[in-house]
């Protein structure tokens, strides 16, 4: 099993899901919740999608990006720097 989802409820006011990657040996993502009283969740076997309950809705979050170079390149964050003070990035 590569990815494990852990529901952290130590702090009753700030519950969240932590996604742990066994291959990298580190936490890869943290998914916050809006409501703090529902604890039901489900993760797909390929670990791409996490579904959980918030109020009367089911929230679905993408956990891992698909292994597609074009998609990953288009969605990665870009940081622009200005050459001068008059030319903002």
Tokens representing residue 82 in the block: 């200005």
Q: Which pLDDT tens digit goes with each residue over 61-86? A: 887 765 677 777 777 777 777 777 66
Tell me the C-alpha distance between 29 and 3, whole Å.
10
For tokens 């956990």, name the residue. 63
C-alpha of 3 from chain center? 12
Q: Which has the higher per-residue pLDDT, 76 or 58?
A: 58
Q: Which pLDDT tens digit goes with each residue over 6-52? A: 778 787 777 788 888 888 888 877 777 777 777 777 877 776 788 88
- pTM metric for this prediction: 0.54
């Amino acid at each position: 099993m590569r990815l494990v989802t852990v529901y952290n409820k130590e702090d009753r006011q700030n519950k969240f899901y932590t996604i742990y990657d066994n291959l990298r040996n580190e936490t890869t993502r943290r998914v916050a919740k809006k409501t703090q009283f529902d604890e039901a969740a489900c993760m797909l076997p390929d670990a791409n999608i996490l579904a959980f309950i918030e109020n009367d809705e089911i929230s679905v979050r993408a956990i891992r990006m698909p292994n597609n170079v074009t998609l990953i390149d288009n969605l990665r964050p870009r940081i622009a720097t200005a050459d001068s003070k008059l030319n903002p990035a």
